Chains A and B, each alone.
Chain A
């Protein structure tokens, strides 16, 4: 499975956009980029995923570079409830299991 690199921690002001980077320079053509988050004392929660194109849903936007070697998760208007550990996962097509790294601890400050 392709390895991902994320910053250990980030801070963002409430109401601002939170941009979380992920490097996956060894990603191969059939591997998807998934994002999950884990709020304290809860299980991980699915946010969004993509292959090549940018994706948007009610929670976030995912921007994948043209060479697919990196991506950015965008929370457009961060709230205090978005404080969590965010995991970027590269998942081969057909693979059911999720391989988590250490993620980015995002703190939203009032």
Chain B
């Protein structure tokens, strides 16, 4: 079974530029999560989708971050404009519907903002 796919794996940009990350969840997983992991810390949830609807985006900095999940499968996370403090690993995870279901994580995209 293929895992969660993310691209790109690495990205370096200058502050005030924009960037987008892509995630393809495990087939059949209706729930998709984006987490931000700053160096030395645990992952922090940014947004959760169920199918193409947002379930929780309370921690998403909406002035610069946006995410969408058109057609309820792939998802993109965008930062515009980026700040230095956005340097982090952005992890995508997916699961079947239901709180008991295991979340499976992708390898992440490592972003460096200069």
Beta-carbon contact of B42 and A101 below 8 Å: yes
Least Cβ–Cβ distance between B105 and chain A, in angstroms: 3
Question: Restricting to B1-60, which residues have a CB under 8 Å from any CB of A?
Answer: 4, 31, 33, 40-45, 48, 55-56
Query: Chain A residues with Cβ under 8 A from B43's Cβ?
Result: 44, 98, 100
Beta-carbon contact of B108 and A97 below 8 Å: no
Least Cβ–Cβ distance between B94 and chain A, in angstroms: 11
Query: Chain A residues with Cβ under 8 A from B107's Cβ?
Result: 41-43
Known A-B contacts A41-B107, A43-B107, A43-B108; the reply to A97 vs B45 at CB < 8 A is: yes
Question: Restricting to B48-81, which residues have a CB under 8 Å from any CB of A?
Answer: 48, 55-56
Residue in B31, B41, B45 whose CB lies within 8 Å of A98: B45
Query: Chain A residues with Cβ under 8 A from B4's Cβ?
Result: 43
For the complex, what is the distance from the CA of A87 to the CA of B105, rounded to whole Å?
A: 14
Query: Chain B residues with Cβ under 8 A from A87's Cβ?
Result: 42
For the complex, what is the distance from the CA of A7 to the CA of B14, rounded to whole Å?
A: 36
Query: Chain A residues with Cβ under 8 A from B40's Cβ?
Result: 102
Q: Nearest 6 A-B pairs (CB), nearest first?
A: A43-B105, A100-B42, A46-B102, A97-B45, A96-B99, A100-B43
Which A residues contact B (CB, under 8 angstroms)?
41-46, 87, 93-103
